Amino acid sequence: MTTAEDGPLAGLRVLDASTILAGPLVAQVLGDFGAEVIKIEHPARGDGMRGHGLAKDDQSLWWKMVARNKRTVGLYLGDPAGAEVFRKLAATADVVIENFRPGTLERWGLGYDVLSADNPGLILLRVTGFGQSGPYASRPAFGTLVEAMSGFAHLTGEPDGPPTLPAFGLADSIAGMAGAAAVSMALFQREKDGHGQEIDLDLLSPIMTAVGPGVIYADQLGIDQQRTGNRSANNAPRNTYRTSDGHWVAISTSADSIARRVLTLVGHPEVIDEPWFATGRQRAAHADLLDGYVGAWIGERTREEVLRAFAEAGAAVGPVYRPSELLDDPQVRALELVTTVDDPDLGEMRMQNLLWRMGRTPGRIRFTGRALGADTDAVLGDELGLSAEELADLRERGVAG
């Protein structure tokens, strides 16, 4: 029996047949807010996410997070028998998430025309690098490639340095959160007309949106934005600054009132009356001067002194944290942005909490990422109705695990 605490999606069934990383993140978010997620993996190899990142006692720590709230079933869809089992399972589902090359599901006899004939309300989220059509549709793609193509790498790094890629799965993560929103929209539409639909989500579109107005600047002004390091072309002072005790802090003055407070705090209120100080774009043209004032003041003080002075002045500043410092931040603790979850293999572990806080149906982490095939018998046998003999045969043939 589900409760309001389980989340607004309690009672929804999601089949996560996707792998690294965007699709699994969509399913993680849906599961966090109550959906029953069944993770479909190759019975021998599993999701490649199981081998990503650092491990403790041979247990993948990243997997414990991204596969939380997911039951796991080993099933090879490329075998006709596995495809038939998946078709029956999809008939019981509300959402299917996949990220195979375009045409793969169709080749296995599992296209949306087939799945929706059995289940007209089914929502099929298809996650690929470049979408289901177009000249790049069949190309292999990872987040790194679209981080480069989107303009993100072009804008990131020092002006005289190379384009810089993120040290984490940025494009996949943005697409994962976008995918959760897309599924929610499709579910809302289904409430109105009873019909499901296909969703074509490529990795490039969400990060192109996140990068900002570069496309419209190029179209309307013929201008390509350039790398500015930690500075901004839109406001100043905006940078990272080193404190006297060797830490770093970040400052942004997107609001003109904040810029005035910062320059008053660091002892240079005279620049506030300069005509060029009136807008962020004009201040950005004087970034050397403003950075010099701010950097000199910060460099004479410890991080704690800087943070305290900025807070008292009502100016915006943030410490450049290592993850270990983030764990102990008082705001992170107050909002429970990191939560403690019990894991059967490793005991208590801390991980990022749910993406937002809902007052009436909050959602929760019910369990961490599970072993490959941990729920195959329960899902395919007890719930779908396959007999013990059928399951044994599928396992012997390497179709189930």
Max distance between CA atoms of the chain, in angstroms, equals 84
Give strand pairing partners of 38.
Answer: 15, 71
* Spatial distance between the Cα atoms of 267 and 290, rounded to a whole number of angstroms: 11
* Spatial distance between the Cα atoms of 167 and 159, rounded to a whole number of angstroms: 19
The answer to whether the Cα torsion of 174, 371, 339, 54 is positive or negative is negative
* Spatial distance between the Cα atoms of 308 and 300, rounded to a whole number of angstroms: 14
* Spatial distance between the Cα atoms of 163 and 159, rounded to a whole number of angstroms: 9
* Spatial distance between the Cα atoms of 333 and 326, rounded to a whole number of angstroms: 9
Q: Are 398 and 76 contacting, i.e. CB atoms less than 8 angstroms apart?
A: yes
Query: What value, to the nearest 5°, has the Cα angle with vertex 230 and ends 225 and 231?
Result: 60
Could you tell me which residues come within 8 angstroms of residue 362 by beta carbon, excluding any fewer than 6 positions away?
A: 4, 5, 7, 354
Could you tell me which residues come within 8 angstroms of residue 232 by beta carbon, excluding any fewer than 6 positions away?
A: 238, 252, 280, 284
Tokens 């289904």 -> residue: 190
**CA-to-CA separations, 73 to 44, 86, 139, in angstroms, rounded:** 11, 11, 28
Active site residues: 172
DSSP string, 37-61: EEEEE-TTT--GGGGSS-EETTEEH
Q: Are 53 and 62 contacting, i.e. CB atoms less than 8 angstroms apart?
A: yes
